[in-house]
Amino acid sequence: MERSRKFIKDIFIYAIGNLGSKLITFLLVPLYTYFIAPDDFGYYDIALNISFLGIGVLSFQLRDGVFRFLLDNEDDRIRKDIISFTCRFLLRSTLVAFAIGLVCLFFFEIRFLPWIVALTIVFMFYEIYIQVIRGLGKNVYFVYIGILTSFLTILFSCLFIIALDCGVLGIFYANILSRVLSMGIIECKLKILKKYFRYDFSDPQINREMIKYSLPLLPNALCWWLLGSSNRLFIDHYLGLESNGIYAVAMKFASILETFSLIIYQAWQETAIKQYGSQDKNSFFSSVLYAQMYAFSAFVILVIFVIKWNYGWLVDENFQASAQYLFPMGISVIFFSLTSFFDMGYQCSKETARNLPGVILATVLNLLFNYLLIQRWAIWGIVASSILTYLFLFLYRLVDSRRFFRVKIPYGGLIPLVGCLVAGIIYYSITSIYFQVAFVFILMFFLWLVMPGYIKKQLKVMVLSKLLKK
């Protein structure tokens, strides 16, 4: 009971930290779509996703390794070595990034190349810095930095895009400055580098273990990047930048759902690592997965309809066509979330290399589906490809994870999936907003009635405890 309560408490904590940034992303969509042309916004979306690829390659996925090893070790000497090694590695990666940027500058004509390089480097430091904060157990400051970054992003976006009319470059400026300032402000408060960073401090054994853990995650990250970002490249090649802009707007809203998935993942990451050695891990892991299926499906249905009902004023008329893709994107995120649940088996056992076969197979399938379906169904083909790919990976990991833990999903686990099917019929078949509201309310009430009692009990306990504290 206590560990379940801790898990739900962690979800609330990570929700505050993550939802702030995604709320800003949500609020910035009208700004971007009104002041930036679809082809420019499509180009920025591609540049952003290439930056995400660069982060993984340059950092060797140390963002996952540094969190995992800091969480396992509370000794200050070991923590100094972990953080010192990570910082030294990042400094060298920065030099590599500058070198690659200079080579590209001389041989290729790439719009905003210096800013793409700068964005990649800043994002790399920021992503690892917040994982250090998590690994040190400073979850409150993880929340603070998320909120602070979000506030600064919207402030600088308004400054550069509206006041100074910088166009799409204003998005680069805002994202870079907001993260640099956020890290500076939090560092002044926590003094992590002052306490833990020593350039000449090194333990070869810890360094080797971190590389052994993180290195297999690099091809894994490349495959995940292809799964998430190759869609844009296919759309750009076959349909053009304008279609990519339409797709990017829909993805901005789908990212709200991905954020909720990330919140569950981060909370589950801490809980799973600490409970992996418990005797009843199989039953506990099964109950968490069952609860996640209900809670996340209900959340997806509710959020998608709320977005649809407000789409007319949230998005410029040039991007209104993107609304039709929201619901299947939500289904794709559900399977992605369920797939991420089983990722903990590889992390808890530190057998990250075993994760590769399934991800590689899913990536190959995704590229094949993208190639075949986009030529027949355009953007719909890309969305269908994502659903099929994550469904395959979910089923693969469900079987493969038995070497780490065994989960049992009762037949009641099909109810939330049926609920999603009913919601899809409502989304596309009923045009009246009033009827949609009524049907969605009935569906939410039904899902609440059939939800397992222990899930409702935990939610009630958490809500009441928060209200009583106030």
- Name the burial class of residue 376, with classes exposed (0-12), middle (13-18) and buried (19+) by CB atoms within 10 angstroms of its CB: exposed
* The pLDDT of residue 167: 77
Which of 384, 394, 383 has its CA nearest to residue 361? Answer: 394
Confidence of residue 84 (pLDDT cuts 50, 70, 90): confident
pLDDT of 420 > 60? The answer is: yes
pLDDT of 413 > 80? The answer is: no
Confidence of residue 193 (pLDDT cuts 50, 70, 90): confident
Tokens encoding 312: 């007319």
pLDDT for 199-230, tens place per residue? 776 667 777 777 777 777 777 777 777 776 77
Looking at per-residue confidence, does 39 or 152 come out higher? Answer: 152
pLDDT of 366 > 70? The answer is: yes
Which of 55, 321, 53, 29 has its CA nearest to residue 171? Answer: 29
* The pLDDT of residue 25: 63
pLDDT of 12 > 80? The answer is: no
* The pLDDT of residue 467: 45
* The pLDDT of residue 388: 92
Tokens encoding 104: 């590209």
DSSP state of 163: I
Most confident of 29-33, 297-301, 345-349: 297-301
Rounded to the nearest 10 degrees, how much is the dihedral formed by the CA atoms of 399, 404, 409, 415?
-80
* The pLDDT of residue 177: 92
Rounded to the nearest 10 degrees, how much is the dihedral formed by the CA atoms of 402, 406, 410, 416?
-70
DSSP state of 160: I
Q: How much is the mean pLDDT over the chain? A: 80
Confidence of residue 392 (pLDDT cuts 50, 70, 90): very high
* The pLDDT of residue 445: 84
pLDDT for 90-144, tens place per residue? 888 888 888 888 888 888 777 778 888 888 889 889 988 988 888 887 878 888 8
Looking at per-residue confidence, does 464 or 451 come out higher? Answer: 451
CA distance 148 to 151: 5
The arithmetic mean of pLDDT across residues 349-376, rounded, is 86
| Lowest model confidence (mean pLDDT) among 15-29, 41-55, 395-409, 454-468 | 454-468
The arithmetic mean of pLDDT across residues 322-336, rounded, is 88
Confidence of residue 466 (pLDDT cuts 50, 70, 90): very low
* The pLDDT of residue 384: 92
Rg (CA), the chain: 22
Confidence of residue 470 (pLDDT cuts 50, 70, 90): very low
Which whole-number Å values give the CA distances from 155 to 30, 170, 209, 249, 333, in the listed order?
15, 11, 41, 21, 30
Give residue for tokens 């088996």: 345
pLDDT of 422 > 70? The answer is: yes
Which whole-number Å values give the CA distances from 159 to 23, 25, 31, 154, 316, in the listed order?
19, 16, 12, 9, 20
* The pLDDT of residue 468: 45
The arithmetic mean of pLDDT across residues 163-190, rounded, is 86
The arithmetic mean of pLDDT across residues 181-185, rounded, is 90
* The pLDDT of residue 263: 79
* The pLDDT of residue 192: 84
The arithmetic mean of pLDDT across residues 163-192, rounded, is 86
CA distance 39 to 24: 22
Confidence of residue 17 (pLDDT cuts 50, 70, 90): low
CA distance 141 to 239: 43
